[in-house]
Amino acid sequence: MAKERSYRAQKVIDRLGKKLNRQIVGSLVACVHCGNCTDSCHYVLANPGDPTYAPAYKADKIRSLFKRHYDWTGRIFPWWVHAKSIYTDEDLEELKDTVFGKCTNCRRCTINCPMGVDLAIFNRMARGLLVSVGVMPEGVAVVSKDQWEIGNQMGVLKEDYVDTLEWLSEEMQMEDPQSPGIPIDVRDADVVYSINPREVKYDPRTISDAALIFNAAGENWTMPSEDWDMTNFGLFSGDDDLGGGVARRLYEKVVELRGKKLVISECGHG
């Protein structure tokens, strides 16, 4: 009798087949478990006594699922090639802990891999599969929802954002009456400056610091009043719809303002 599989687990398996391409499959089948990647992983260095942090071990969590359903050896001889399926929502939670909690997709393992296995590309794919069925860390779910619905990952409303820029401009002009402050929605600027929403919410001085540099350089620049979030949690979480939507909004805003180039502040997934 076939083992019963949860609805979400079946969805992940079905969608896995649609995500496979030459680069992902090549990385899934090329690993020879030589161990070169192990010492390159900062998770391993921080947890030397726990083998579950080894890149090859983490990759096998995804590789075993691929083999069980999309590789002929795994379908016929699953015990031989360590092919294993997922059945329950608890299995999905365990996979979530691996792909979100034990890997940052930094690619240090890939740099040290003699076979060219790109763990980051199929680890991100696995994140996206989980996100598509609602399995993700709570923090990722919250910021992704805010990016979709409000337009930035911190949930900063337009009036609060604009008020902050105007307040910073006033302070700059109090210190230097000749300062142009922070220009907003200026068309035909050479530079459109986009920021990390955390700057608005927690450290707005970084915005005025950047403005001081632009103004000192005599740059023709501006900041948009909408669609200004340069972070991209879709890139981080594997949610291609969110990632493409966020990037498209920012691009279209630069086009609308007729800006010549986009300059962004710091973010690891911006």
CA 164 to chain CA mean position, Å: 27
pLDDT tens column, 132-145: 999 999 999 999 99
In three-state secondary structure terms, 85 is coil
pLDDT tens column, 67-101: 999 999 999 999 999 999 999 999 999 999 999 99
In three-state secondary structure terms, 184 is strand
Amino acid in position 153:
Q
pLDDT tens column, 108-164: 999 999 999 999 999 999 999 999 999 999 999 999 999 999 999 999 999 999 999
Amino acid in position 105:
N
Extract the tokens encoding 84. 């294993």
Q: Which residues on adjacent β-strands are paired with residue 194?
A: 264
Q: Of 229, 226, 222, 228, whose CA–CA distance to 181 is shortest?
A: 222
* 242-269: b (≥16 Cβ within 10 Å) or e: bbeebeebbeebbeebebeebbebebee
Does 1 score more than 60 pLDDT? no
Whether the Cβ atoms of residue 10 and residue 91 lie closer than 8 Å to each other: no
- Mean pLDDT, the chain, as a whole number? 95
Extract the tokens encoding 51. 């083998």
Alpha-carbon distance 73 to 65, whole Å? Answer: 12
Q: What contacts 4, CB < 8 A, 6 or more positions away?
A: 87
Q: Of 122, 97, 220, 228, whose CA–CA distance to 165 is shortest?
A: 228
Q: Of 154, 171, 151, whose CA–CA distance to 163 is shortest?
A: 171
Alpha-carbon distance 198 to 202, whole Å? Answer: 6
Alpha-carbon distance 80 to 9, whole Å? Answer: 23
**CB atoms inside a 10 Å sphere around CB 216:** 9
Alpha-carbon distance 229 to 157, whole Å? Answer: 12
Does 267 score more than 90 pLDDT? no
Report how far apart, in Å, the C-alpha atoms of 2 and of each of 5, 87, 113, 224 are: 9, 11, 38, 56
pLDDT of res. 126: 97
Residue ranges and CATH numbers for the domains of the chain are 7-136 (1.10.1060.10), 144-264 (no CATH)
Q: Of 75, 69, 61, whose CA–CA distance to 31 is shortest?
A: 61
